[in-house]
Amino acid sequence: MVGEVNVKEKIWEYLMSREVGIIGVCGIGGVGKTTVMKHIHNELLNEAKAMGFKKVVWVTVSHPLNVFRLQDDIARAMGKNPSDWGDELNRASRLMKAMKKVKYALILDDVWDKFTLHSIGIPEPTMENGCKIVITSRSIDVCNYLRCQVVKVPPLPEQESLHLFLDKVGRDVLRIPSLEEILQLMVAECAGLPLAIVVIAGSMRGVEDIFEWRNALRELRQCVVDTEKDSEDQIFKRLKFSYDRLPNSSIQECFLYCSLHPEDWEIRRKDLIEAWICEGIVEKLGSRREMHDKGNTILSRLLNCCLLEKAYNKACVKMHDVVRDMALRIKSTSPGRFMVKAGMRLEEIPDEDEWNEDLDKVSLMTNLISYIPQNMSPKCLLLSTLILEGNKVLEQISECFFANMPLLKFLDLSRTGIEVLPNSICKLEYLTTLILCGCVRLKRMPSLSKLKALKKLDLDGAGLREAPKGIEMLENLEYLDLSCPDLRVLPEGKISKLFRLQYLCKNPIFSTEIRAEEVAGLKMLEWFEGRFYWMKDYSSFVSKLNLFGRLSHYSLIGVGFRDVCRAEGYFWKFDNNDLPKRVILSRFDIGEEDELVLPDDLQDLRIEHCRVAGDISIFQKDFTQLQTCALKYCQGIGCVVSLSSSSSTSLTVMNNLEVLTLEGSKHLNGFPESSIEYQCGQFVSTF
């Protein structure tokens, strides 16, 4: 686009100039500053060697400014570890010393607050050192304070705005009779702001009726009436138009929930949907799988209308910082208010007077809060959600902290440093979700028997050695993750009483296994991850798989006791790329007494470091759903496929097989080359 090209050319001209050291890219939110600088950043990376830059660094600056975090981010981007650099003053000195040794190009994105380069530890760019700094900011005052050569990013011209709108809404709309004039008027209302154009066009994608376009134009005009030029309201009101067009309040709530995460955070899709389910935002359906399908449908809707963005990691989504600002503005005034101070490196929990009585959700995730004062008990009678995730130095929570939160339903303490949960948690009679994953120092929990409403308990990676007392009393529990690496004690009969369980995971090495008979009665189970130490226990479970009519995901991991210490690092958990039905067997002795039994609907099979006694075939029947198979370093496998003159097994056993890996397994027989080539036509990896 011409406007963007002109801005890029001007920035590049200043980057090439010896007289200009600091460049300020300025404009209102949503005008495209960050987008322009991403292009510049990529060009700098490509031209770094020719321009003499040893380091090209991009850092997004927090708001409000946190000097410690900014120093930390720059140092790490420069390849340094500042963890032992001390306070801000010492860190500034160490960072200054490190940066003076290299010619750098530093991009500081989204700067709101004034600061001096010296206070951070950034050397002043000079003609002699050839270093360059580029900041993006909504504030001309910030640019002037840093003595920047300012480049203003103007709104897009009318024709470029129209092209961008059509790119996002789809050019098929041009075939709608009489739409051209309405289209131009709607584009004009976007005020040349690329973010507004993209989001508004996304909200109109798929609309074909002329009356709906006319109505949307009327609503958009009402949204932006009395908006001052160059004010932040320009973008917020236009973005809210797209929010208001979301089809129902449930999808709106799902969107607003994303703002509880820190700015520029990559949010895992699976975790986000789980949170929506636990919060009751996604309606209760017949199965958890159906609810995840519903959640993914909502995510697709929010991505298609550009209120969310795809992240670099395909398993995640992101929220544009301006869109997040809009969401937080909505929740600052509407019923069910949010207090969000996520990712701000807070060292102390907000003062009690900030915890208003009408708060619905509080997010303090990924901060540096180390303690909660003993006498602190915020009066939040309507609070339903509290997220303290990622406060790694938080070791204690006072007994009275939850006393005035009677309606708390969702409590996330994951990846904190807590060692003991306060007994007062047991009084939260409406609590439905308790997340303690990654609490590696957690050694003791009170009895959970009174938490009758609890539906989800996540202890993945927690430091517990015993299962929580009273767990068998949680009759409404639907989700249980007991993947605690040190868990040694799981008394018999506890799991079998949780008849509403839909999700059960019990994975890590060294911890106690779940017995097949414990799980056999869980008729609602849809997702199971479990570890077995004896072939007979594994085989017993497989023989009972047909009892689970709802089971859509299973991961059965067998690690034999004979070499369990060598398997310490084996810790397989499902991720988004895994096939939903898999078996992993490692270090088992497989013989005629301990027959190898595999599920009929198996999709992913991995057998590693197993000893096979006798002339045993891996596949003695059809596995038509099998897609990947890996046999590595197994001793004594007679043949992979059992063949006979009258059998056609070799022709059907691997109809859907895409990847076959044979590694370090000697003396394989009974696997004709023609069978491999024919059945595994897409890809075979043989070593």
Which residue numbers in the chain have pLDDT < 50? 510, 562-571, 643, 645-647, 649-651, 670, 672-685, 687
Q: Which one, of 380, 386, 392, 426, lies nearest residue 409 by Cα?
A: 386
How does 521-537 read in b/e, with b if 16+ C-beta sit within 10 Å?
ebebbbbbbbbbbebeb
Q: What is the reported pLDDT for 674?
A: 40
DSSP string, 182-199: HHHHHHHHTTT-HHHHHH
Say what the pLDDT of residue 575 is.
Answer: 55
Spatial CA neighbour of 551 closest among 598, 512, 601:
601
Secondary structure (3-state) at 274 = helix
pLDDT attached to residue 2: 54
Output the CATH code of domain 249-326: 1.10.10
For position 227, what pLDDT does the model report? 66
Q: What is the pLDDT of residues 297-318, one digit of tens each?
A: 999 999 999 999 999 898 999 9
CATH of domain 2-152: 3.40.50.300
Multiple choice CATH, 158-244, 1.10.1660, 1.10.8, 2.160.20, 3.30.70? 1.10.8
Length in residues, the chain: 687
Residue 494: predicted pLDDT: 86
Using an 8 Å Cβ cutoff, are 607 and 632 in contact? yes
**How far apart (Å, rounded) are the C-alpha atoms in residues 24 and 7?**
12
pTM of this prediction? 0.86
Beta-carbon count within 10 A of 593 CB: 10
pLDDT of residue 623: 81
Q: What is the b/e burial string over 447-456, where b = at least 16 CB atoms within 10 angstroms of the residue's CB?
A: ebebbebbbb
pLDDT tens sequence across 13-32: 999 999 999 999 999 989 99
Spatial distance between the Cα atoms of 189 and 213, rounded to a whole number of angstroms? 13
Tokens of residue 75, six digits = 């140092």
In the chain, what is the greatest distance between 2 CA atoms, to the nearest angstrom?
86
Beta carbons within 10 angstroms of residue 180's beta carbon? 11
Residue 274's pLDDT is what? 97
Contact 203, 245 (CB under 8 A): yes
Q: Cβ of 365: how many Cβ atoms within 10 Å?
A: 23
Give me the residue spans of the domains in the chain: 2-152, 158-244, 249-326, 579-687
pLDDT at 570: 47
pLDDT at 292: 96
Residue-level pLDDT at 231: 66
